[in-house]
Amino acid sequence: MTLPARLVSLPSLVAGLTLAAACGSSTPATDASPDAAGQTLRLEMPSISLAPSEETTRCVTLSLGNATPKLLRRVHSVIATGSHHLIAYRVPATTPLDATPTPCEPFADVTAGASPVIIAESADAELVYPDGVALPVDANQRIKLEEHFINPGDAAILSSGTVDFSLAEPDAALVAANLLFWGPQDFAIAPHARGAADLFHLVEPGVHIFALTTHEHHFGTLATIEQAPAATGAATELYRNTDWAHPPLKAFEPALSFDGSQGLRLHCEWFNTSGAVVPAGLSAVTNEMCFFWAYYYPSTGFQQCSEQGCQKT
């Protein structure tokens, strides 16, 4: 399987319609500040009931409801207790609408080459695109919401999530953004032992990275990202996280610039407190992950990298 805060000051765009997820359409976000530049539309994952110790991933596909092509300048997500992460993807217009939360495989759309708009890991996350940068969205853009839920407690809970999309009118002067999604997959952590994994690739010349974050599961103890010319040797640390459950989204202003001679080095560490081998995989209970995603411009595609190399869609 291939896996791959506030960034800059930007006025909130006008409230559009607030989504009625049950109808498969969007609604204006009522808590957005008005701004004549555009509108903010909200999509919602309906509440999911989670039994004690239950782990599940649910998906819905909804229409954003924008009648004409737009540019995304800001995205804001809120996820409730019991949500491990929420991903919003742009999907093709031929994707069937389905407002019923249906069991689905985590990251299946990533592995199929779909480009995430946001991958939210914290209770409240916001991405604002730098001045002159945006993400294009088609008219009546279809968005797939994928939310990974897990209830570690001994009582049933309800969980859900929302994503607000702040849109502006098309502007030929704005540069399109996209994502890098990198992570090693060939690792396993022995029972009652520490483990680590690393991945390095050069970043293409001309790339500017304006935000990034990491992702691990509950055995994770450390994740770092370094800027370096090679897999070993001297490096500049860009990011460090020791809280696997709430990795921050770190912004860079100005954006990091790459000329082809530097790359990104990802390092993860775990302590396996269980009595079984923990391999790389999708479950937040029995598997581990090590990857990062970075928001970059100008877009040359959604890039996924692992030990086997890199590919773009």
Q: What is the mean pLDDT of each run of 10 residues along the chain (313 residues)?
A: 29 26 51 55 96 95 96 95 91 94 88 83 91 95 95 94 96 94 96 98 98 94 98 98 90 97 98 97 89 96 95 90
d(CA 59, CA 147): 6
Q: Which amino acid is at 37?
A: A
Write down the pLDDT at residue 9.
Answer: 24
Among 115, 148, 174, the domain-final residue is 174
Q: Clarify whether residues 252 and 207 are in a common domain.
A: yes
| 84 and 168 in a common domain | yes
Question: What's the confidence (pLDDT) of residue 56?
Answer: 94
Q: What is the pLDDT of residue 98?
A: 97
Q: How confident is the model at residue 11, as a pLDDT?
A: 24
Instruction: Quickly count helices (H) and strands (E) in the chain.
Output: 1, 25
Q: How far is CA 296 from the centre of its chain?
A: 13
Residues 164 and 34 in one domain: yes
Note whether residue 3 is domain-resident: no
For residues 183 and 261, membership in a common domain is answered with yes
Q: Residue 63: its pLDDT value, please?
A: 97
Contact yes or no for 151/275 (Cβ under 8 A)? no
Instruction: For residue 203, tell me if it sits in a domain.
Output: yes
Domain residues for the domain of 74 are 15-174
Q: Do 84 and 232 fall within a single domain?
A: no
Looking at the fold, whether 134 and 278 belong to one and the same domain comes out as no
Give me the pLDDT at residue 28, please: 67
DSSP for 40-86, written as a single string:
EEEEEEEEEEE-TT-EEEEEEEEE---SS-EEEEEEEEEE-TTEEEE
How far is residue 220's CA from residue 198's CA, in Å, rounded to a whole number? 14
Residues 77 and 208 in one domain: no
Same domain, 187 and 296: yes
Angstrom distances, CA of residue 233 to CA of 114, 200, 226, 265, 309: 34, 12, 11, 11, 21
Output the pLDDT for position 308: 95
Q: Are residues 231 and 137 in the same domain?
A: no
In a domain, 50, yes or no: yes
Q: What is the CATH number of the domain that holds 198?
A: 2.60.120.230
> Is 192 part of a structural domain of the chain?
yes
**Residue 192, amino acid:** H
Q: What is the pLDDT of residue 5?
A: 28
pLDDT at 13: 22
Same domain, 144 and 270: no
State which of 125, 142, 174 marks the end of a domain. 174
User: Is the same domain home to 183 and 163?
Assistant: no
Residue 265's pLDDT is 98
Same domain, 54 and 186: no
Asked whether the beta carbons of 64 and 142 are under 8 A apart, the reply is: yes
The structure tokens listed for 303 are 């890039």
Instruction: Give me the pLDDT at residue 101, please.
Output: 97
Contact (Cβ atoms closer than 8 angstroms) between residue 72 and residue 130 = no
**What tokens does 64 get?**
């954003």
Residue-level pLDDT at 37: 52
Q: How many folded domains does the chain comprise? A: 2
